[in-house]
A and B are shown apart, each in its own frame.
Chain A
Amino acid sequence: MPDLLLIAVIAGILAIDDRAGWQSLLGEPVFSSLIVGWVAGAMAPALQVGVVLQLAWLSIGAARGTRRPHTLLGGIVGAASTALVLAHDSDARTTVVVAAGVLAGLVAAELGAVALRATGTLRERWLGTFTLPSNTHDASRKLSMTVIGAALLVGIVDFVLVLLMIPLGERMVRLFEARLGVGGGAGAAWWLVAVSAIGVAAVVRAFGTRVLVRFLAAGAAAVLLVGWLR
């Protein structure tokens, strides 16, 4: 429970940074999973979840006609579900737990996007009707209070969402770990490879242009050359 509360507080702070602050990148799954894994006591598997989720969401921009998933929420829920299960059950199969954690993260991100839509409507009603008071002192105070209030709202919404979703994610991970047999475990490993491929496709698509493709190829060749020389 203290771990869960601490992770929810971290999620709130990261949400303020990501959607109200200067977007330091700490809210991206690859970084947030490192923090969450460290707090929960299972950094390596949490980081594995973070990497796969980052690759899944690396495609730049939202898909046509869909809302962008709430990646911050997904990253934290996925990494926390995995780390909390593995921190308390050392016999659990890491690959299955990581795959279930990634799935929990993907689902949480989609649900989070729906929740944000609802709170976003309320926020719009509040901020969309902003007017400046007719007195300088009141105007300064109202501006400061509006900015602080809006930032806090972002943090509180994500704090609550994480608090609600981590227990569900954890339960889902435990369920998969218990129910998936040997074949299921192999399927989970295949699925992780397939999800990671989204990141590869996104990079190739983003930089596979006439001008940039040679630099993409140079980067790949450099890594292969260094690997071959070693």
Chain B
Amino acid sequence: MSARLAPSDLRRVLARLLFVQATLNRRGMQNIGVLHALDAAAAKLSREPLALLSRHNDHFNTNPNAVPIVVGSVLRIEEDGLATAPVPIARFKQAACSALAATGDVLMVGGLKPLALTLAVVSAIYSFSTGLVAIVVLYNAALLAGRAWGLRFGYARGWGIVDAFTGPRVQRVVMLARILAAFAGGAMVAVMARRTFAASWADVALLAAATLAAGIAIKRGLNVARIAIVLFPLVVLVAMLVK
């Protein structure tokens, strides 16, 4: 009944998935973005594309980088037909989204993003613009390649994606990203300490005291950026009195 999707169809789906966050809303979260992506292939998957879209017009929420994996698997499941489905597709999507959201958040927010940003800060401290450009190019290449791979992987595996992403292999990749981010974070702290040390001992003491105070504030859940705004006139006033 239905023809297999061509690589060009998957590319169209992927291009639309890049803007999945545009229509993020509280009621359905990423549902409109996902429907928009499915719409690019719906006519090839079903004789009734509208019925296919209506089936998926429900709540959808996961890490944006994991959306292509789930959408890829949905495309495969729809292509194979729902008659032999082991569980309702809505339940499958919910399970896949939950599993991938946790992994995706830890990988991106806890690993790759801090890694890129701390390396960028170190490059910027040394006014190394080429380093900044290289970081942004590498990060985006990895991001886009990861999303393209995710869509192909999901389309190849169909129902099997949840098992693939809850195994130890994925956890090892996430841990490696966290380790690299921690290493880069340590390097950033040392670079800042060295530069402050080169300025004066007073600045080293100020950096240490401010780090301690900021650490306590972050631990207590306070908005440190707002505290910094309030501190500006105070610090300037103290300095004017001292000088």
Q: Which residues of A contact B219 (CB under 8 A)?
A: 205
Q: Which residues of B contact A220 (CB under 8 A)?
A: 186-187, 189-190, 193
Q: Which residues of B contact A61 (CB under 8 A)?
A: 109
Q: Are B207 and A193 in contact (CB under 8 A)?
A: yes
Q: Are A147 and B186 in contact (CB under 8 A)?
A: no
User: Chain B, 202-243, contact with A by CB distance < 8 Å: what is the 0/1 string?
Assistant: 010011001111110111111111101101100111111111
A123 located at the interface, meaning its Cβ lies under 8 Å from any Cβ of chain B in the complex:
yes
- Size of B's binding interface in residues, CB under 8 A: 94
State the CA gap A55–B124 with chains docked (Å). Answer: 11
Q: Which residues of A contact B221 (CB under 8 A)?
A: 63-65
B59 located at the interface, meaning its Cβ lies under 8 Å from any Cβ of chain A in the complex:
no
Interface residues of A in 14-41 (CB under 8 A from B): 16, 19-26, 28, 30-31, 34
Most chain A CB within a 10 A radius of its CB, from B132, B143, B184, B185: B185
Q: Which residues of B contact A58 (CB under 8 A)?
A: 114, 117-118, 121
Q: Are A54 and B240 in contact (CB under 8 A)?
A: no
Q: Pick out which of these stretches binds chain A: B49-57, B73-81, B94-102, B151-159.
A: B49-57
Contact of B139 among A20, A25, A181, A198 (CB under 8 A): A25
B2 located at the interface, meaning its Cβ lies under 8 Å from any Cβ of chain A in the complex:
no
User: Chain B, 24-49, contact with A by CB distance < 8 Å: what is the 0/1 string?
Assistant: 11111001110110010001000001
Q: Are B23 and A132 in contact (CB under 8 A)?
A: no
Shortest distance from the beta carbon of A18 to any chain B beta carbon, whole Å: 9
Main secondary structure of the interface of B (DSSP, over half): helix
Q: Which residues of A contact B203 (CB under 8 A)?
A: 190, 193
State the CA gap A188–B240 with chains docked (Å). Answer: 10
User: Chain A, 204-222, contact with B by CB distance < 8 Å: what is the 0/1 string?
Assistant: 1111000011011111111
User: Chain B, 183-200, contact with A by CB distance < 8 Å: what is the 0/1 string?
Assistant: 111111111111010000
A160 located at the interface, meaning its Cβ lies under 8 Å from any Cβ of chain B in the complex:
no
Shortest distance from the beta carbon of B42 to any chain A beta carbon, whole Å: 8
A51 located at the interface, meaning its Cβ lies under 8 Å from any Cβ of chain B in the complex:
yes
B19 located at the interface, meaning its Cβ lies under 8 Å from any Cβ of chain A in the complex:
yes
Q: Are A54 and B117 in contact (CB under 8 A)?
A: yes
Q: Which residues of B contact A47 (CB under 8 A)?
A: 124, 127, 129
Shortest distance from the beta carbon of B67 to any chain A beta carbon, whole Å: 10
State the CA gap A188–B64 with chains docked (Å). Answer: 40
Contact of A130 among B32, B43, B49, B114 (CB under 8 A): B32
State the CA gap A206–B39 with chains docked (Å). Answer: 40
A200 located at the interface, meaning its Cβ lies under 8 Å from any Cβ of chain B in the complex:
yes
B21 located at the interface, meaning its Cβ lies under 8 Å from any Cβ of chain A in the complex:
yes
State the CA gap A211–B120 with chains docked (Å). Answer: 24
B182 located at the interface, meaning its Cβ lies under 8 Å from any Cβ of chain A in the complex:
yes
B179 located at the interface, meaning its Cβ lies under 8 Å from any Cβ of chain A in the complex:
yes
Q: Are A219 and B243 in contact (CB under 8 A)?
A: no
Q: Which residues of B contact A199 (CB under 8 A)?
A: 121, 188, 192
Q: What are the 10 A-B residue pairs with the smallest beta carbon separation, nearest first? A: A219-B186, A187-B239, A64-B221, A197-B210, A183-B243, A183-B240, A187-B236, A20-B22, A201-B214, A223-B190
Extra contacts, 18 of them, besides A16-B22, A147-B19, A223-B187 (Cβ < 8 A), are A24-B136, A25-B117, A34-B132, A54-B121, A64-B220, A64-B221, A103-B232, A106-B228, A132-B57, A139-B49, A143-B32, A147-B22, A154-B22, A183-B240, A200-B211, A205-B215, A220-B193, A222-B183
* Pairs A–B under 8 Å by Cβ, sample size 13: A22-B19, A31-B120, A43-B129, A63-B222, A64-B222, A183-B241, A187-B237, A193-B207, A193-B210, A197-B210, A201-B224, A206-B114, A220-B186
